[in-house]
């Protein structure tokens, strides 16, 4: 599994012995360990490991060691471009960064391309060790909003609820097959049986679509889809409207139980400047943008979103916070202003 993942990534990114690769983050996590680290070792590249991500230290290392390849998840990119050294750091050695682990939007792609650095979006999961798809290196700018095509030793298909393939362009569950896919969960045959379908296709729990070029786009997670009445609401669609607002630093959307509709969307918002927007201001962003049933019914202002070790928003914590409180706050907290 590790070997095939290393071969997949090295081929897709073109890693060679002359590359200088930077990894930062906990190596117990399959992302920092296997997205670039093991592929770099397999290719004989020079590897620099930072135990944790710190934007100033990463920028310094890129310039000092003339790094050619690095990982920058969306949350990392936002921290890097907000750092005072971003504009002055010499990035000329950096030919490519990979990004993923969270929804990838234009505001975390453009800063790299504007500095002459190619960005490759990837998609994967721990059970596939982890890289499944990646944007083609030679066409990265045009295809930057997709998660790319399957790497050499992986197959991907989009399936309906019964496991049958859906037509090109339609959304469904992402299924994965190949030698990087796990054989099963340790001593858990029930979970293993539920995870596989139709002769070894791993059910990822992700909702995605394949276009006519075979490029994958991730729409959301099946368990995070908000079902309003009988209509599906994908949090990424709602978050996209919020994140286009310059007054919003970051945002996440989850479902809250509702007696009448089953669930309704709720937006968690971190403002650039404390008090810059009210809940009604935030709700007003959706007028004419999305169907009304997709509009957040409440807005929760926060100083920060909970994230795991590789920067993914902990949607489960946000959902728990809604069930543990009677009503979300109606006004932003008096937090310090954000740069």
- Inter-residue contact 50 to 57 (CB < 8 Å): yes
Pick the closest to residue 222 from 237, 239, 240, 235 (CA basis).
Answer: 235
pLDDT tens column, 278-334: 999 999 999 999 999 999 999 999 999 999 877 889 999 999 999 876 444 444 444
Q: How far apart are CA 13 and CA 34, in angstroms?
A: 13
Angle at 100 between CA 92 and CA 97, to 5 degrees: 10
Pick the closest to residue 159 from 211, 224, 206 (CA basis).
Answer: 206
The token pair at 194 is: 């539920």
**Inter-axis angle of helices 106-114 and 74-82, nearest 10:** 50
Residue 318, CA distances (Å) to 204, 251, 323 in order: 22, 11, 9
- Of residues 327 and 250, which shows the higher confidence score? 250
pLDDT tens column, 124-170: 999 999 999 999 999 999 999 999 999 999 999 999 988 899 999 99
Q: How far apart are CA 134 and CA 143, in angstroms?
A: 10
Domain spans of the chain? 2-220, 225-323
pLDDT tens column, 223-246: 899 999 989 899 999 999 999 999
The token pair at 103 is: 């929804």
Total Cβ atoms within 10 A of residue 100 = 26
Label residue 169 exposed, middle or buried (CB < 10 Å: 0-12, 13-18, 19+).
Answer: exposed
Tell me the whole-structure pTM to 2 decimals: 0.82
- Of residues 202 and 199, which shows the higher confidence score? 202
**Phi, psi (rounded to 5 degrees) for 123:** -135, 140
CA 205 to the chain's CA centroid:
14
Residue 184, CA distances (Å) to 124, 126, 138, 156, 189 in order: 17, 12, 35, 18, 8
Question: What CATH number was assigned to the domain covering residues 225-323?
Answer: 3.30.300.30
The token pair at 171 is: 């959304």
Pick the CATH number of 2-220 from 3.30.360.10, 3.40.50.2300, 3.40.710.10, 3.40.50.12780: 3.40.50.12780
pLDDT tens column, 87-121: 999 999 999 999 998 788 888 999 999 999 999 99
């Amino acid at each position: 599994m590790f070997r095939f993942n290393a071969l997949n990534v090295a081929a897709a990114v073109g890693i060679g012995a002359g590359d200088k690769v930077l990894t930062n983050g906990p190596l117990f996590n399959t992302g920092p360990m296997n997205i670039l680290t093991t592929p770099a070792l397999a290719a004989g590249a020079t590897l620099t490991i930072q135990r944790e991500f710190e934007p100033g230290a990463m920028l310094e290392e890129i310039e000092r060691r003339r790094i050619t390849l690095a990982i920058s998840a969306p949350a990392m990119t936002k921290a890097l471009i907000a750092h005072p050294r971003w504009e002055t750091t010499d990035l000329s050695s950096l030919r490519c960064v990979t990004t993923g682990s969270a929804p990838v939007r234009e505001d975390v792609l453009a800063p790299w391309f504007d500095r002459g650095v190619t960005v490759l979006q990837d998609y994967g999961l721990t059970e596939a060790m982890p890289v499944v798809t990646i944007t083609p290196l030679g066409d990265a700018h045009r295809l930057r909003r997709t998660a790319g095509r399957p790497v050499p030793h992986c197959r991907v298909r989009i399936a309906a609820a019964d496991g049958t393939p859906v037509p090109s362009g339609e959304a469904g569950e992402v299924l994965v097959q190949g030698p990087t896919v796990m054989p099963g969960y340790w001593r858990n045959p029930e979970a293993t049986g539920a995870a596989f379908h139709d002769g070894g296709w791993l059910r990822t729990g992700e909702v995605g679509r394949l276009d006519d070029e075979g490029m994958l786009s991730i729409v959301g997670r099946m368990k995070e889809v908000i079902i309003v009445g009988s209509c599906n609401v994908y949090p990424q669609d709602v978050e996209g409207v919020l994140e286009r607002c310059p007054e919003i630093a970051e945002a996440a959307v989850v479902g809250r139980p509702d007696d009448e509709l089953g669930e309704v969307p709720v937006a968690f918002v971190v403002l650039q400047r404390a008090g810059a927007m009210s809940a009604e201001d935030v709700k007003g962003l959706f007028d004419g943008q999305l169907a009304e049933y997709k509009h957040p019914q409440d807005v929760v202002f926060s100083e920060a979103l909970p994230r795991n070790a590789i920067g993914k928003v902990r949607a489960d914590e946000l959902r728990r916070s809604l069930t543990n409180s009677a009503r979300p706050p109606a006004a932003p907290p008096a937090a310090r202003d954000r740069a």
